[in-house]
């Protein structure tokens, strides 16, 4: 599980994931950027959200009435031609970053900490095969002022 108040890192067989937040405390209505820095192992790729017919990388947020989550901002994908399938598909490889702004709900009656949870689901592939899809748990804790 990647848990972040400052920055945390977790690793799977396919990638290294660093989760961080732009602030470790917030007031109701304030925006905080949650960031996932992803580094895929050599020769690996994951499918971009725009792919059709394959499992894309997907960052989901657990329901939480204390926060308002914005859509994920993704980098432009690379187009990869897969010879075996004779298809060109949108992918990410190497290092890339996903960012999602959240804000503490304006009507949140919180003092102390709020825990924000989510998951990152992906299917990694190399030049020979695709691996079983994986889901990594994510968690951030912010102090509410």
Return the CATH number at 53: 2.60.40.1250
Q: What is the mean pLDDT of residues 95-115?
A: 85
pTM of this structure: 0.90
Provide the strand spans (E) within 27-145.
31-40, 45-47, 58-61, 67-73, 78-82, 87-93, 95-104, 112-122, 124-125, 134-144
Burial 23-61 (b: 16+ CB within 10 A, else e): eeebeeeeebebbbbbebeeebbbbbeebeebebbbbeb
Q: What is the structure's pLDDT at 84?
A: 78
Summarised one tens digit per residue, pLDDT across range 31-81 is 999 999 999 999 999 999 999 999 999 999 999 988 999 999 999 999 999
Q: What is the structure's pLDDT at 4?
A: 45
Q: How many domains does the chain have?
A: 1
Instruction: Tell me if residue 50 falls in helix, strand or coil.
Output: coil
Domain enclosing residue 84, as ranges: 2-144
């Amino acid at each position: 599980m990647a848990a972040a108040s400052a920055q945390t890192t977790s690793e799977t067989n396919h990638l290294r994931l660093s989760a961080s937040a732009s602030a470790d405390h917030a007031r109701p209505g304030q925006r905080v950027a949650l960031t996932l820095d992803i580094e895929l192992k050599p020769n690996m790729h994951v499918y971009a959200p725009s792919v059709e017919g394959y499992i894309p990388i997907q960052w989901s947020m657990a329901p939480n009435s204390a926060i308002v989550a914005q859509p994920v901002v993704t980098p432009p994908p690379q187009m990869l031609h897969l010879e075996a399938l004779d298809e060109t598909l949108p992918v990410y490889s190497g290092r890339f970053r996903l960012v999602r702004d959240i804000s503490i709900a304006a009507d949140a009656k919180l003092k102390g900490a709020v825990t924000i949870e989510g998951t990152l689901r992906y299917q990694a592939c190399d030049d020979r095969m695709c691996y079983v899809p994986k889901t990594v748990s994510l968690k951030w804790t912010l102090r509410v002022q």
